[in-house]
Structure 1
Amino acid sequence: MNKKITWSLAILVVLILVGGVGFISNPGLFNNSTILQALAQQPDSAILQDVVIREERVYICGDVQEVARRTVGSLNIKTEQELSNQYAAKGYSVVKLKNDFLAQTKVNDFCNYHNSFRHFGIQNNKLAIFQGPLGYNQKLICIEENIDINTLQPTFQVKLQQAMDFFQMNPETQAKLRYELEFSSEDGLNAALENLDELQE
């Protein structure tokens, strides 16, 4: 009786092993298995949901401000393509970094610090005033129509020309130009305009 049970168990084990080997060696069974596909996809999807997206604004002056951090899951996004499309619609470009995503948008303005800056330059051969620090001439505030560049001292004319090519100057020249032609506020600018003759000396 015990021998019959032992033999029956042994035959059952052999059948199970043979069946298991046949299942593993048959790739068709794997391809048709929705359970295995779900298990394979679930880890990637779950990991993506926890990845952080850093949202940043890049200003004219080059300063960068982080405005938000959120997870992919909080946006109900399933794939990286959906992530790129959703941010592109808002004017952001998305870059995948090692551990997170970086979404940046360019802002046609200066950061809070540089927003009040003003500097001298040249426009239409007249003395011009630009918003922002030296080197950034995207925002012209006004042209001093009554101040022709040719009426200014030659050395001051050279400085104004250098200001317009600020990033081509060496660090020492840049520092001198900032000291003389760049102002952190409207008050500083107005004082310089009132004492333009002294500034040229």
Structure 2
Amino acid sequence: MAELDVQPKKKNPWWIWLIIAAVIIALILLVRGCDKAADGSENSRDSTETGDTTASITGAATLSDWDNVDFNASETSYDEVTDKSISVRGNANYAIYGLGENILFSVGDTSIQASAESQLKQISASLNKRFKGASLAVYGSTDSTGGAKMNKEIGESRANAVKHWLVENAGIAESTISVHSRGQSSPVASNATPEGRQMNRRVDIVARIQK
């Protein structure tokens, strides 16, 4: 009987399998990384396209323009503004109409009270007469009671309420009005007294004078 020459099967070295497994894992991680990058790009584009525009700066004037407003400008007067609770200040670049928070809002509220409409009507009539089509900014300010973050939010909420009133009741284009919150950062009086704190709780409507 002829002898059968049977050779034992050669086994592949173990390290080859290790390399193959490493390559497969690397490919899986690469595919997942590409998918995440694509998702991140989509999310970034979506947030840019649908992001919140309240803030802030939606007027035609630039941010630097509104950073340079001199709130200590000299007092002035306009014939059409007769209500003594409205302060009017200005210079060659800006006109500033100011109203106390106690006139515009109930304590702790951010909705404009009905009794403030006569003052807002006078301001809007003056804006439409003297600064029609100009860039406007609404600034909300608070006293120092409470935290700085909370006061910043209150100032913005109240400035937004005045902006919406101007858009809905005065025929002023929303695209021309920007909203800013000064919070407690720029007091006009001492926060050590109730009278001073009341003076610091206010909203200013600023018109940029066109040249």
Greater RCO, 1 or 2 (C-alpha within 8 Å, sep 6+): 2
Which one has a larger percent strand, Structure 1 or Structure 2?
Answer: 1
Instruction: Please report the TM-score for the alignment, with normalisation by the length of structure 2.
Output: 0.30
Question: Larger C-alpha radius of gyration, 1 or 2?
Answer: 1
Which one has a larger percent helix, Structure 1 or Structure 2?
Answer: 1
Instruction: Please report the TM-score for the alignment, with normalisation by the length of structure 1.
Output: 0.31
